[in-house]
Amino acid sequence: QTTLSFSTSNWQTEQTVTVSAADDDNAGPEEVRLSHSASGGNYDSLRQDLVVTVTDDDTASLGLVLSPLPLTMVEGESATYTIKLATPPTEAVTVTVSGMGSGMSVDTDGALAGAQTSLGFRSRWLTSPSNWNVEQTVTVSVAADDNTIPDTVTLSHSAAGGEYDAVSRELVVTVLDTAVPGLVLSSATAPLALEEGGSATYTVRLSQAPTDGVVTVTVLGGMSSGVSLDTDAGTEGDQA
């Protein structure tokens, strides 16, 4: 097991977890679920899951790669996730995001006025430079509401163009209330979709200050699938 510690002085500080995947003999992508269980203060018994997508470094199948899965955020704030294609397309591909619902908005291009909801991907066979395997960022914003119940919104992603016609994928967004304790998981500089033999990072923080003492977050899962975790890259070996 791997643990992180939070107190009243560092609960807002994002702590980084490095995920590494070993090579195996299986072809095709695998999904590994990491569970995060909290204990201490008013965080006892809280749990939040994160899905890691591991793609084979020899073969790739058609699909949309989203990271992180799922996405956790706090109401009144913004969060981001990334999208890329799993394989080079034969034609230009457009991915459209929908399903935001009341109080939630997405923007795929902050440089343009208004909220954009689509992304474009190209192959090196069609134009230069290609960007089918470049992570493009989607920003999700949620307004604060009057209730204290966590909300769950499922965003749909539909692709169009070439062999990607009718390809789709969903992303579950969990919105935590500012008045209720919760774990906020998000991707860092590298997306949480990695190839065998590679690594990626994500961060963990608390949604509000603990009432007292230290909150310990324990990360479990993935080890039997060749996935290892490290909460302190500055210390030699996996910290467990």
Mean pLDDT in residue range 69-75: 84
CA distance 48 to 4: 14
Task: List, for residues 159-181, the tens digit of each pLDDT value.
Answer: 999 899 989 999 989 888 877 88
Is 78 contained in some domain? yes
Domain assignment of residue 222, yes or no: yes
Give the start-end residues of each E strand in 26-98.
Answer: 30-39, 47-55, 64-67, 71-74, 78-85, 93-98
- The three-state secondary structure class of 225 is helix
pLDDT at position 189: 43
Number of domains in the chain: 1
The verdict on residue 81 lying in a domain is yes
Pairing of strands 15-21, 227-230: antiparallel
Q: Are 184 and 207 in contact (CB under 8 A)?
A: yes
Among the residue ranges 10-24, 60-74, 153-167, the one predicted with the least confidence is: 60-74
H helices, E strands: number in the chain: 0, 18
Check which CATH number belongs to the domain holding 192 and give it: 2.60.40.10
pLDDT-based confidence at 126, cuts 50/70/90?
Answer: low
Give 220-236 pLDDT, tens digit per residue.
876 666 888 888 766 66
- Does 240 map to a domain? no
On whether residue 239 sits in a domain, the answer given is no
Lowest mean pLDDT segment, chosen from 56-65, 171-180, 215-224: 56-65
Q: What domain range includes position 189? A: 2-230
Distance of CA 168 to the CA centre of its chain: 17
Structure tokens given for 94: 């457009």
- At 108, the pLDDT band (50, 70, 90 cuts) reads very high
Helix or strand run (H / E) with residue 105: strand 104-107
| Cβ atoms of 98 and 106 closer than 8 Å | no
pLDDT, tens digit, for every residue of 18-46? 888 887 666 566 778 888 999 998 999 88
Answer yes or no: is 238 within a domain: no
pLDDT of residue 45: 85
Whose tokens are 């960007």? That residue is: 131
